[in-house]
Amino acid sequence: MHVGGARAVSVRFEDLSVGDELPPLARTLTRDDLVRYAEASGDRNPLHLDDAAARAAGFPGVIAHGMLTMGHLATCLTRWLGGPEALERLTAPFRAPVFPGETLVAGGRVRALDASTRRVELEVWVTVEYYDGGNDQWMLEYDGTTAPYTAAPPVQLQNTGKWRLHTFHLTDAYFGGRQNVGADLRLSDLSWADGQTNYFGRVWIARSLPGNQPPDLVAPNRVAVPVGKITQIPVSATDPDGGLISLSLDRSVDFATLVDNGDGSGFLRLAPAESDMRPCPFRIRLLATDSGNPSLSDAATIQIILHPYAVFLPVTIR
C-alpha cells in the first residue's frame, strides 16, 4: 500500500508512526449484498446467485464475489486515510470462499515506513478457519520482507473431524503483491500427493492479536421429519470468549420458526403440512452471533427432508 503526500486526506505520511493501528471494520454479508453487487458490477456468475450452480461446483451454497470482499478491505483503508485519493495500489489474495452470513473483519497496523517511496507496510495477524480432517499438514505462505513466498510454521492436522481456527502472527509482512496474480497470501498443502483435500472456511486479517473469537454453532446437518406434526430440533452455540450469543434465522421456510432461549441454546420448531411435501430437501440457515466488538458469527445450514409417514423422533442422517 502506498500513501501519497499532496492530497486532501486525514492521514499524512509525515504524521504516521510504526505501530499506528487501523480501526477494525466488520461487515456480515447477506444474499442481498451479492444480488446488489452483481447488478452494480455486471458480474452475474451463477456461483454468486444460484445455490444449485454453486453446489454443482462443489460449494455448499452461493459464494460472495471476490471483488466484493476485497472492496470491504478497501473501505477499511480509505476510511482510515480519509478518502480514496491516497490509496494508489491495493492487492489481496482470494484464499477461501466467503458465504452469506459470514463476517469479514478488516484492519491493520503500520509495520514500517519508507520515506523514499512513502510506502506503509502493515503488520497483521491472519486467522484461518480450516477443517481438521486427515493427518497431513498445510501452511501459509505470505509475501514477506525477505521473500515473496515466506513460509509460516506448518499446521499439523489432528483428524478431529471438526472446524478449527489457527492464527498466524506475520511480523515481517511486506504485502507488495509479489506472488502469482498479485497475491500476498496463499494456503499450501504440504502433502499434495496423498490425494487428500484440505478445506478452508473463513479468513480474518486483524490489526492485532484477535481478542474476540467467533462462536461455535452446533446443529444437525440433515434431518427427516414427518408432515402433519410438530417437531423440535435442538441447536446450541458456545462463545470461546464467554460472551452472550444470539440465535437467528438467515434463510428459512414458512413452516419453521426459531426459539432463542437467550443462553446460546434454542430449538427449531418445524410444523410442515402435506402441502409442503416435495422431493428435494428444504434448506434452513442458522446464525449464532456473539456480543463482541466487532461481533462475529458462525453459521450452519440444515437440510430438512419431509417424510409422509409418522416417525417418533427426528432421524438425523450423518
- Torsion angle in degrees (nearest 10) through CA of 181, 182, 185, 190: 30
| pLDDT the model gives residue 317 | 45
CATH at 274: 2.60.40.10
Q: Report how many domains make up the chain.
A: 2
| 274: pLDDT strictly greater than 60 | yes
DSSP of 78-121? HHHHTSGGGB--------S---TT-EEEEEEEEEEEETTTTEEE
- Say which residue, 279 or 234, is predicted with more confidence: 234
| pLDDT the model gives residue 156 | 92
Predicted model pTM = 0.43
CA-to-CA dists, residue 180 to 2, 95, 317, angstroms: 20, 12, 42
Q: In this structure, are 198 and 78 located in the same domain? A: yes
Last residue of a domain, one of 206, 233, 249: 206
| pLDDT the model gives residue 283 | 87
| pLDDT the model gives residue 193 | 67
Q: In this structure, are 190 and 223 located in the same domain? A: no
CA distance 111 to 146: 14
Q: In this structure, are 148 and 224 located in the same domain? A: no
Cβ neighbours of 166 (radius 10 Å): 15
Q: In this structure, are 299 and 157 located in the same domain? A: no
Q: In this structure, are 121 and 160 located in the same domain? A: yes
| Non-local CB neighbours of 301 within 8 Å, separated by 6+ positions | 60, 61, 221, 251, 283, 284, 285, 286
pLDDT digits (tens, 9 = 90+) for 79-114: 887 777 667 777 776 767 888 988 888 888 787 776
| pLDDT the model gives residue 195 | 75
Q: In this structure, are 181 and 68 located in the same domain? A: yes
Structural domain includes residue 34: no
Domain that holds residue 288: 216-316
| pLDDT the model gives residue 35 | 93
- Per-residue pLDDT band for 210 (boundaries 50, 70, 90) equals low
- Say which residue, 195 or 9, is predicted with more confidence: 195
Most confident option among 35-44, 210-219, 304-313: 35-44
